[in-house]
Structure 1
């Protein structure tokens, strides 16, 4: 079973986190299930960028992003070549190292 390795983030997981996840699960759902409260203002519908993450390792194991996700990512703060929306990034068979960006463009925290 692949592992998700979250790098430390002052707000969401100060110590970082490592856990196993089933292939086919989204990065966001796996994070939420393990207490990492990544914002997701659009309720996982690929309509915002609040769940933007950077995949530091394992990026090529993910299915390519589609046009809708690419259009949304263009609006994300701190966009990098290995950026993905965690609600759309589905874990395959390789470990992923995930960084949650320091900022989001969400004007109001939804309190999820």
Structure 2
């Protein structure tokens, strides 16, 4: 199990959090499994950027991003070199520190 430290986000995780996730789980699934309701408008199908996160520590332990994800990331708000779509970033055995950006390009939230 890897520990994922989520930095404070005013809406999704105001106090920050530390959660555990088994290897093979996406960051998005891990957050949702622990009641951190990150946006995921496309239901984790790699078709939007609403689940964009910045991996502050442990980035190199994640699976490599596919071309489709990299193309979508170009449209994400606040893109950084350690940006990933959390629905595509698969947790390994290494601990992670993740930041959820303050904004997304989503104009209306879905009720998931």
Q: Normalising by structure 1, what TM-score?
A: 0.98
Alpha-carbon RMSD across the aligned residues, in angstroms, is 0.6
Q: Aligned runs of 1:32-43 on 2, under 5 Å?
A: 32-43=32-43
Is the aligned partner of 1:49 residue 2:44? Answer: no
Give the aligned partner of residue 28 of structure 2: 28
**Does residue 88 in structure 1 map to residue 92 in structure 2?**
no
Which portions of structure 1, spanning 4 or more consecutive aligned residues, are displaced by more than 2 angstroms?
none
- Match of 2:70, SS state, is helix
Matched, 1:65 2:97: no
SS of the residue aligned with 1:32?
A: helix
| Aligned residue number for residue 105 of structure 2 | 105
Q: How many corresponding residue pairs? A: 112
Q: Secondary structure at the match of 2:97?
A: strand
Q: What's the secondary structure of 2:5's corresponding residue? A: strand
For structure 2, list consecutive stretches of 5 or more residues without a partner in the other structure. Answer: none
Partner of 1:17: 17
Q: Secondary structure at the match of 2:41?
A: coil
Gaps of 5+ in 1: none
TM-score (norm 2): 0.98
Please give the secondary structure, in 2, of the residue aligned with 1:28: helix
